[in-house]
Amino acid sequence: MSRRCELTGKGPMTGNNVSHAKNRTRRRFLPNLNDVSLMSETLGRTFKLRISASALRTVDHRGGLDGFMAKAKEAELSPNALSIKKEIAKAQAAA
């Protein structure tokens, strides 16, 4: 399982640990990932996703999973999230 957010594409970054003596050693900054179940109002079901805490706040700000997926760029979404976006768009077009 990769350490990558399924909705925003955020992944690990690299940097340095810097000691008091200014010795630098390489380190990784990992994203704050959480396993969550998000409800789609259009489809009436939940989806389990591994997303970052900042993405979870953005989902809440945009009014839920449907609102987030409407504005999400397809290049940033995982294959699983991309299929969810297409299902939601198809259901909204039919309604």
Instruction: Assess if residue 25 is contained within a domain.
Output: yes
Instruction: Assess if residue 1 is contained within a domain.
Output: no
Instruction: Assess if residue 8 is contained within a domain.
Output: no
User: Total structural domains in the chain?
Assistant: 1
Looking at residue 89, which CATH number applies to its domain? 2.30.170.40
Instruction: Assess if residue 4 is contained within a domain.
Output: no
pLDDT tens, N- to C-terminus, the chain (95 residues): 789 999 999 999 999 999 999 999 999 999 999 999 999 999 999 999 999 999 999 999 999 999 999 999 999 999 999 999 999 999 999 98
Instruction: Assess if residue 5 is contained within a domain.
Output: no
Instruction: Assess if residue 3 is contained within a domain.
Output: no
**Structural domain range at position 60:** 13-94
Residue 3 in tokens: 């350490």
**pTM of this prediction exceeds 0.75:** yes
Instruction: Assess if residue 73 is contained within a domain.
Output: yes
